[in-house]
């Protein structure tokens, strides 16, 4: 399972002898392994959110609906819940090296599949390839996201475990930040989409090669600490049974899992919450960037502190309490207008306190669940977090209320602001009742309200449920007569 004693033949009887002789050893190559896993986690996160910042352009290019674009991100949450348990078993059964290499392959293969609509000219339904590629990447995430905790427990001495967990966990957050910056920078027009898809293949392929070349073994020849030497090999079901009976672990898993769910939903709904009260999408993107940057800084600071003091429980309790206060402050201030400085400060504090808890919580989950393996202990926390994230998303979307005539809203549809007078006219012409589409994990994506026209395809930026666009087009009652377009991936 998670570094069983049998992996080190001398671990059982020689533990006391090794302790007396100082025989525990930390190998320098552990940092190489951590670098490979961190790069893989970062690449996987960029693939997750590569579509969200340029959702409008992707929808126009491939003639997709809003719901289809949302599913390209939502599939990560959906896949991680059932297959997360499978990934736990794989990680603890075949070992760290094989599981991570498999995750790197799935990540690279998924990046290739989702670029197929721009490599072949006779593809009738590009959404199948886009969603299929994202599904493979989602499968890779279930293996990659659990690896840092296992690597830290098997390869790092006790005074470095929280730091190793911090580096591996925060690499995923850095991937989110990179995707939100890189995709808009690469995609200026629809013709740039093949370039974007090809660009994301490169880091995925590089990390796959690094995993093959640099991950030589699952466990070190000599364990780095007493805890690593005394790891036991419980069966998968026996380990899960112990976890569900461990009250301290379940409290930690539910509380920290809720934090994971809040993070996912904060990333998804930040722009929509702010734009209603007059804040621009650029400011929402700035708040999202501050959220991640200060979160990484907080994780570094708290990880180093916990490694030295071992105050795991105190750090998590204080961190979760401060995170809750920051959430309440954001919920209140975000409903006010003109509070840009205060909102930016709150988002920074929310990231600083919320993100900093993540690596410490993963390390504590491993510590308090002994003798259950590291993969199962960290994996169940993540699976519960994804499930709570889906639940929170459903609750928030069901509570969404769209005001009839907002006076300060900067929410946009396509490339121009919503024309609420045009919407009222549209209601008089054809009175449908559209729902509110909520994207996943994007700091700068606007919730589109485009109406499906032509051959069942949305003509985004031309006519839609929001009145005339800023491109100078005028409203026409014969909106159903607009022609449909065929997708193209040829940059020329």
Q: What is the mean pLDDT of the chain?
A: 74
| Encoded tokens for 418 | 């919503």
Q: 365: pLDDT confidence band, cut at 50, 70 and 90?
A: confident
Q: Tell me what pLDDT residue 329 has.
A: 92
> Is the pLDDT assigned to residue 444 strictly greater than 50?
no
What's the pLDDT tens digit per position in 64-100?
886 788 788 878 888 888 888 888 888 878 888 999 9
What's the pLDDT tens digit per position in 31-56?
999 999 999 999 999 998 888 777 77
Higher pLDDT, 278 or 135: 135
> Is the pLDDT assigned to residue 141 strictly greater than 70?
yes
Q: Tell me what pLDDT residue 22 has.
A: 54
Q: 424: pLDDT confidence band, cut at 50, 70 and 90?
A: very low
Q: Tell me what pLDDT residue 134 has.
A: 94
Q: Does domain 27-398 have CATH number 3.40.50.300?
A: no
Supply the DSSP symbol for 52.
Answer: G
User: For the ranges 123-137, 199-213, 435-449, which has the lowest average pLDDT?
Assistant: 435-449
> Is the pLDDT assigned to residue 428 strictly greater than 50?
no
Q: Taking Cα atoms as reference points, which of 311, 315, 313, 310 lies closest to residue 356? A: 315
Q: What is the pTM of this model?
A: 0.67
Domain coordinates in residue numbering, the chain:
27-398
What's the pLDDT tens digit per position in 233-260?
566 777 778 888 888 888 888 888 888 8
Higher pLDDT, 43 or 449: 43
Q: Tell me what pLDDT residue 483 has.
A: 41
As a whole number of angstroms, the distance between CA 445 and CA 438 comes to 10
**In angstroms, how far apart are the furthest CA atoms of the chain?**
86
Give exposure, 415-429, as e/b (b: 16+ Cβ within 10 Å): ebbbbbebbeebeee
Q: What mean pLDDT is predicted for residues 266-278?
A: 73
| Encoded tokens for 52 | 């969200």
Q: Tell me what pLDDT residue 251 has.
A: 87
Q: Tell me what pLDDT residue 212 has.
A: 94
């Amino acid at each position: 399972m998670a570094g069983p004693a049998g992996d080190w033949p001398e671990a059982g009887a020689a533990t006391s002898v090794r302790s007396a002789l100082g025989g525990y050893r930390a190998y320098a190559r552990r940092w190489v392994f951590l670098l490979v896993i961190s790069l893989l986690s970062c690449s996987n996160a960029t693939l997750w959110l590569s579509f969200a910042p340029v959702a409008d352009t992707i929808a126009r290019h491939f003639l997709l609906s809003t719901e289809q674009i949302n599913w390209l991100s939502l599939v990560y949450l959906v896949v991680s819940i059932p297959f997360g348990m499978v990934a736990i078993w794989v990680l603890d059964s075949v070992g760290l090296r094989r599981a991570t290499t498999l995750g790197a392959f799935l990540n690279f293969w998924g990046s290739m599949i989702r670029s197929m609509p721009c490599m072949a000219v006779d593809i009738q339904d590009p959404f199948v390839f886009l969603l299929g590629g994202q599904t493979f990447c989602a499968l890779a995430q279930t293996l990659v996201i659990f690896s840092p905790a296992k690597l830290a427990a098997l390869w790092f001495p006790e005074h470095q475990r929280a730091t190793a967990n911090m580096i591996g966990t925060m690499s995923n957050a850095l991937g989110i930040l990179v995707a939100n910056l890189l995709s808009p920078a690469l995609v200026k027009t629809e013709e740039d989409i093949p370039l974007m898809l090809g660009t994301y293949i490169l880091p995925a392929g590089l990390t796959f090669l690094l995993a093959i070349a640099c991950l030589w073994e699952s466990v070190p020849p000599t364990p780095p600490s007493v805890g690593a030497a005394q790891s036991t090999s419980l069966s998968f079901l026996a380990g899960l049974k112990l976890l569900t009976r461990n009250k301290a672990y379940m409290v930690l898993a539910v509380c920290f899992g809720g934090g994971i769910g809040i993070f996912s939903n904060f990333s998804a709904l930040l722009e929509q919450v702010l734009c209603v009260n007059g804040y621009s999408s650029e400011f929402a993107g700035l708040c999202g960037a501050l959220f991640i940057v200060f979160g990484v800084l907080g994780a570094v600071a708290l990880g180093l502190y916990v490694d030295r003091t071992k105050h795991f429980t105190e750090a998590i309790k204080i961190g979760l309490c401060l995170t809750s206060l920051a959430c309440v402050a954001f919920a209140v201030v975000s409903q006010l207008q003109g509070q840009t400085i205060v909102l930016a400060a709150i988002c920074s504090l929310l990231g600083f306190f919320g993100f900093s808890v993540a690596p410490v919580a993963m390390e504590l989950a491993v510590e308090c669940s002994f003798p259950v393996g590291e993969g199962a202990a960290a994996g169940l926390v993540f699976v519960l977090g994804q499930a709570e994230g889906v639940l929170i998303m459903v609750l928030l979307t069901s509570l969404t209320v769209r005001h009839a005539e907002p006076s300060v809203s900067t929410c946009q549809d396509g490339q121009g602001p919503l024309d609420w007078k045009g919407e009222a006219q549209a209601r008089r012409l054809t009175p449908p009742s559209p729902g509110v589409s909520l994207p996943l994990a994007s700091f700068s994506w606007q919730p589109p309200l485009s109406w499906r026209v032509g051959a069942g395809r949305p003509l985004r930026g031309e006519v839609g449920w929001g009145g005339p666009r800023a491109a100078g087009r005028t409203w026409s009652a014969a909106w159903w007569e607009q022609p449909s377009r065929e997708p193209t991936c040829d940059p020329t």
